[in-house]
Homo-oligomer: A and B are copies of this chain.
Amino acid sequence: MSLPLHLRNIHLPLGDQRTGRLYGKDVLSVAQFTRDDLEYIFGVAEAMRNMVAHIGTFDLLKGKILVNLFYEPSTRTSSSFAAAMERLGGSVIQINDVKYSSVAKGESLPDTIRTLESYADVTVLRHPETGSAAIAAQYGRKPIINAGDGTGEHPTQALLDLFTIREELGTIDGLTVTMLGDLKYGRTVHSLAKLLTLFEVRLNYVSPGILRMPAALVAQLEAKGRRQAQYDSLEPVMAETDVLYVTRVQKERFEDLNEYEAVKGAFVITPEIMQQLRPKMALMHPLPRVGEIAPEVDNDPRAAYFRQMEYGLYVRMALLAMVLGKA
């Protein structure tokens, strides 16, 4: 493939690089990455973004096969990985209905992984049990990418969240990131917070009292020198927030429904709230949303949540290319 003229000067860290940083490795946890790794991944992801914008697709992974092994449903994540693989010229074998498969007949995860590896080059695994990605990686000979294992990790979501901040605001260092909503049970905000310790950021946590960020995690970030503060409402931090990361406050989390009714309005983003936020900032959400951001906000240029999905494509393209030694 010869590049169009205006792309010839773009530095693309692509090609056959079997000595590359992630070549042949698994992607299991945000804890495995250094800041250098992230810069490298984001550089590749940005190259992917340019390539998709200008060429649409290219055959970097032609002939490679991804097994998308989903023990629990996640249309969003599985189709994002599928599109990433297909945009790189590779093929996808989608395994959704694990309940119907031999897995349901009692086959162990290690056996399933080793069987599917006979056909494929890389496995993306979504599993309801924490630690299952690590088990899969232990038995598999080929790269495993963790696409969420229970309440454990969902590292590619955290990477795409971080890449979104970088693309939307040009930098990560120096920013104030405010996390809003259910900070107790949200796997997404936990992983993102951990990853943000690699950067010079300030963190605000805004949540109902019963859905606070876990103390252990706060302590862990404290130890890394991050400035953190907790709030009951968004108001005090509106003016300083560069990134507002919204998550859903689920009714089911509340024993006392009166308590839920009392707080829920405080965690819905409306055009009125947008007016009070900084003119340059990013409003993010892992999606799906069910009411926590009003649809009227969607056309606000600061509403980054649909672009966030798109950035996910580029990050996953980068990871697939890297673990297969092509970036």
Contact = CB atoms under 8 A, between A and B. Distances in A.
Contacts of A199: none
Nearest to A91: B86
Nearest to A310: B118
Interface string A102-119: 110111101110111011
A101 B77 CA distance: 10
A288 B118 contact: no
A73 B309 CA distance: 26
A287 B111 contact: yes
Interface residues of A, number: 57
A86 B89 CA distance: 11
A209 interface: no
A239 interface: no
Nearest to A120: B83
A271 B295 CA distance: 59
Interface stretch (A14-22, A54-62, A166-174, A181-189): A54-62
A295 B119 contact: no
Contact of A79 (B106, B111, B119, B312): B119
B64 A110 contact: no
Contacts of A114: 306, 309
A75 interface: yes
A290 B106 contact: yes
Contacts of A91: 86
13 contacts: A56-B63, A56-B121, A76-B101, A76-B115, A79-B95, A80-B118, A82-B119, A86-B91, A107-B290, A111-B288, A114-B306, A118-B309, A118-B312
